[in-house]
């Protein structure tokens, strides 16, 4: 595979605050340093970009020393918190602004979709705007003409095509705008979070189109979104930015996992913060431990293996009809299942409950556990995200070969009974 | 890692830039955009109006009516023996072309920040489209000029077009380049500090009085021989005088003055391009 994009030592500094009388002296100073061939005096004092802390310097590094390669045909998700530098990166890649230091090299044409409907003129009709927008995005007139019907068809606004776009509903506007951009012919496509608008059906269509672009047509896609399920659907790789730095890159699901749990540790024991009124409660959970079926603490479970959870809890006073319930949610917050123990009556003291997964095989990713302790109908201690565990692609030859271990094969990997018989 | 086949990169993005790197090849690729932007300006100008493109005529007609009333009748400023309306029209349409190019270009980054902040295209396209859009307007207004010329000629006024009108395209080129060059210089500065934008708003109408829009150069020279260099100093004076000479047969035409205009324009355009180029890559961060 050859590289489509190479980013080397990429940094971008921004000046915070207002521009006015105060900043002109600095500009003169910078200019003077440049004339004399000296280094820019203000870039030296730049700070890491953490939007939450206030500081003395008003130069921040929105991106700092980024290095990565992207292979041709890859669909790469760029993820990170607000202000991590995602949009700055895309702006530099799409040549809207230039970096402070470093270089980006690219092969082929690049089309960027940082916003839908850029350059749409409200007074012009849909048709006129298709041409204008297409041209702004770098298409030739003949190219747009050739694809015109396809664009209108994709947008589904045939009826309104000769109406000024200011009369469009916002959804129609976005449909038309995305349709134009989706029909760009470029080797590299850069997409910022533009799909937040539009109805569900159209969002699905857009994601499908972006997916086609990378998988079907072999073009390179960079995709920024906070919607992890879209990222994991479209992308095969991801890079995670933290405060302008590249914190990790790799296969999309493991990077999303890192991002969502915000740490790379594979922890197996989780202490639960005791509730404030712990003495008043009938009881409370103290600790959760993830284990393999042999009872060894394990932060990571290989795909296809079963596992168990050991919950330690304390009962303050005798409880009738005690039930412990656990829930499992995926990293995308999909509720997967809930399980309850049968009712028992408990004396006061320390207890342990072992919850055994004896059936369900989960695909690689990380999962969150929610705990609940209740008595009769009343839940007295409820802990969301009490523990995390990772199912990972560890190699294990003892597994049943019908268990799929490929990406995107779904959450549940239990084999189904598939019977093949010859018909006469 | 195998580096051999990977070195033929198509696009390289760095912080450096060269002074005269106009990316003309890139700009040529986007020529359709240029035309569509011109079309957009033209079409959106008269959308939802009843009179439509006729508005292009109404503005200069009223201007020359007022000029005629104030400067010719009231102030008794002579018009070089040319009928007053056509004298004013010649100056007005050229001056308006310059003024529109200048004011629009000087705010090009600010006005188009929304588009330019989201999509890359050669930035030069935007000022070029302004110059071309206004050229369309000038062309429409020039038809008015020709009509008026015909009427006055029919009335038996001394209107003597001569070989000087062959210079017309050169005149237009000079005005366009001058407006573009000055506008680009100002635009480069105003992205970060808006002060100069105020100067443009009140300065451009005032600047009109230092050029021969409402009076002929001959009168100025005759009345204030010591200060007439100030008026000649304005590169547009020679352009307007040449137009009047070529189409109407009156006016001060000299190759020297026109040559001066052309050279000043060339220098300003060059400086404009350099400053524009310097700023276009990062203006998004400061606009």
Domain boundaries along the sequence of chain B: 54-286
Q: Per this entry, what is the length of chain A?
A: 424
| Amino acid A54: pLDDT | 58
Query: Given a cut of 80, is residue A44 above it in pLDDT?
Result: no
Q: Which residues of A touch B40 (CB under 8 A)?
A: 121, 124, 128, 132
| Amino acid B3: pLDDT | 45
- Indicate yes or no: CB of A105 within 8 angstroms of CB of B37: no
Q: How far apart are CA B101 and CA B177, in angstroms?
A: 9
pLDDT digits (tens, 9 = 90+) for A72-88: 888 899 988 888 888 88
Q: How confident is the model at residue A46 (pLDDT cuts 50, 70, 90)?
A: low
Mean pLDDT of B176-188: 91
Phi-psi bin for B81: left (phi > 0), alpha (psi -120 to 50), beta?
A: left
Q: How far apart are CA B118 and CA A97, in angstroms?
A: 9
**With 0-12 CB in 10 A as exposed, 13-18 as middle and 19+ as buried, what is B143?**
exposed
DSSP string, A351-376: EEEEEE--SPPBPSEEEEEEEEEEET
- Chain B: closest CA distance from residue A142 (Å): 9
Lowest mean pLDDT among A211-215, A220-224, B126-130: A211-215
Neighbours of A368 (CB within 10 A): 19
- Chain A: closest CA distance from residue B114 (Å): 8
Identify from A123, A143, A190 which residue to disrupt to test chain B contact, counting B C-beta atoms within 10 A and taking the largest count: A123
Domain boundaries along the sequence of chain A: 3-8+68-261, 269-392
Q: How confident is the model at residue B18 (pLDDT cuts 50, 70, 90)?
A: low
Taking the CA atoms of residue A157, residue A229, residue A235 and residue A220 in that order, the dihedral angle to the nearest 10 degrees is 30
Query: Given a cut of 80, is residue A237 above it in pLDDT?
Result: yes
What's the gap between Cα B72 and its chain centre? 26
Lowest mean pLDDT among A243-247, A315-319, B200-204, B226-230: B226-230
pTM of model > 0.80: no
Percent of chain A with pLDDT over 70: 86
Domain A3-8+68-261: top CATH class: alpha beta
Which of B10, B115, B281 minimises the CB distance to A97? B281
Better pLDDT: B45 or A153: A153
pLDDT digits (tens, 9 = 90+) for A139-149: 888 989 999 99
- Indicate yes or no: CB of A138 within 8 angstroms of CB of B30: yes
- Indicate yes or no: CB of B44 within 8 angstroms of CB of A98: no
Long-range contacts of B41-45 (CB under 8 A, 24+ apart): B41/B129, B41/B130, B41/B133, B41/B136, B42/B133, B42/B136, B43/A123, B43/A124, B43/A128, B44/A121, B44/A123, B44/A124
Q: Which two tokens stand for residue B186?
A: 């100002």
- Average pLDDT for chain B: 85
- Chain B: closest CA distance from residue A259 (Å): 27
- Indicate yes or no: CB of B286 within 8 angstroms of CB of A19: yes
| 8-state DSSP, B89 | H
- Indicate yes or no: CB of B14 within 8 angstroms of CB of A24: no
| Amino acid B2: pLDDT | 43
Do the beta carbons of residue B178 and residue B235 sit within 8 Å? yes
CATH code of the region A269-392: 2.70.50.60
- Chain B: closest CA distance from residue A26 (Å): 13
Which of A91, A105, A119 minimises the CB distance to B115? A119
Do the beta carbons of residue A75 and residue A230 sit within 8 Å? no
């Amino acid at each position: 595979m050859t590289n489509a994009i190479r980013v080397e030592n990429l940094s971008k500094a921004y000046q915070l605050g207002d521009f006015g009388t105060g900043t002109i002296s600095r500009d003169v100073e910078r200019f003077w340093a440049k004339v004399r061939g000296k280094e820019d005096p203000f870039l030296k004092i730049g700070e890491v970009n953490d939007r939450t802390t206030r500081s003395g310097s008003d130069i921040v590094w929105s991106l700092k020393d980024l290095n990565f390669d992207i292979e041709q045909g890859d669909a790469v998700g760029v993820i990170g918190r607000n202000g991590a530098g995602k949009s700055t990166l895309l702006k530099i890649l799409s040549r809207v602004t230039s970096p402070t230091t470093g270089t980006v090299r690219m092969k082929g044409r690049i089309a960027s979709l940082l916003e839908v409907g850029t350059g749409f003129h409200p007074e012009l009709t849909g048709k006129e705007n298709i041409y204008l927008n297409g041209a702004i995005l770098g298409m030739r007139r003949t190219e747009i003409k050739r694809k015109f019907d396809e664009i209108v068809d994709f947008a589904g606004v045939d009826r309104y095509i000769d109406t000024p776009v200011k009369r469009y509903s916002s959804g129609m506007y976005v449909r038309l705008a995305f349709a134009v951009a989706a029909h760009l012919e470029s080797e590299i496509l850069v997409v910022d979070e533009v799909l937040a608008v539009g109805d569900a059906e159209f969002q699905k269509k857009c994601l499908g189109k972006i997916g086609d672009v990378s998988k079907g047509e072999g073009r390179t896609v960079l995709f920024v979104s906070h919607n992890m399920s879209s990222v994991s659907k479209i992308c095969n790789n991801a890079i995670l930015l933290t405060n302008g730095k590249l914190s990790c890159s790799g296969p999309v699901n493991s990077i999303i996992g890192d991002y969502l749990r915000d740490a790379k540790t594979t922890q197996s024991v989780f202490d639960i913060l005791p509730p404030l009124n712990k003495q008043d409660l009938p009881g409370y959970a103290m600790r959760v431990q993830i284990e393999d079926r042999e009872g060894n603490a394990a932060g990571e479970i290989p795909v296809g293996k079963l596992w168990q959870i050991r919950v330690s809890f304390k009962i303050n006073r005798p409880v009738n009809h005690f039930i412990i319930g656990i829930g499992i949610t995926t990293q995308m917050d999909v509720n997967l299942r809930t399980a309850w123990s049968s009712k028992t009556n408990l004396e006061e003291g320390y207890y342990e409950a072992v919850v055994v997964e004896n059936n369900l095989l989960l695909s690689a990713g990380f999962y969150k556990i929610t705990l609940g302790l209740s008595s009769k109908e009343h839940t007295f201690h409820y802990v969301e995200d009490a523990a995390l565990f990772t199912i990972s692609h560890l190699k294990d030859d003892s597994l049943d070969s019908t268990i799929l271990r490929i990406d995107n094969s779904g959450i549940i990997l239990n084999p189904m009974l598939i019977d093949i018989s010859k018909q006469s | 890692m195998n580096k051999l086949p990977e070195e033929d990169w198509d696009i390289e993005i760095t912080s450096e830039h060269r002074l005269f790197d106009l990316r003309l090849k890139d700009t040529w690729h986007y020529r359709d955009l240029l035309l569509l932007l011109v079309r957009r300006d033209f079409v959106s100008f008269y959308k939802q109006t009843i009179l439509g493109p006729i508005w292009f005529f109404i503005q200069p007609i009223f201007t020359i009516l007022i000029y005629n009333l104030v400067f010719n009748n009231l102030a008794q400023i002579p018009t070089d023996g040319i009928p007053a309306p056509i004298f004013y029209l010649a100056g007005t349409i050229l001056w308006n072309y310059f003024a529109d190019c200048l004011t629009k270009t000087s705010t090009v980054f600010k006005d188009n920040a929304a588009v330019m902040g989201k999509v890359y295209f050669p930035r030069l396209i935007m000022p070029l489209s302004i110059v071309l859009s206004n050229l369309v307007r000038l062309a429409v207004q020039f038809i008015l000029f020709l009509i008026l010329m015909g009427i006055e000629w029919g009335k038996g006024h001394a209107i003597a077009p001569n070989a000087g009108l062959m210079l017309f395209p050169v005149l237009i080129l000079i005005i366009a380049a001058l407006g573009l060059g000055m506008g680009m210089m100002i635009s480069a500065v105003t992205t970060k500090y808006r002060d100069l934008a105020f100067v443009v708003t009140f300065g451009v109408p005032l600047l009109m009085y230092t050029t021969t829009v409402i009076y002929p150069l001959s009168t100025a020279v005759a009345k204030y021989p010591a200060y007439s260099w100030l008026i000649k100093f304005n590169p547009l004076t020679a352009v307007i005088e040449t137009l009047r000479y070529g189409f109407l047969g009156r006016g001060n035409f000299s190759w020297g003055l026109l040559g001066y205009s052309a050279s000043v324009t060339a220098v300003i355009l060059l400086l404009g391009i350099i400053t524009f180029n310097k700023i276009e890559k990062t203006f998004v961060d400061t606009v």
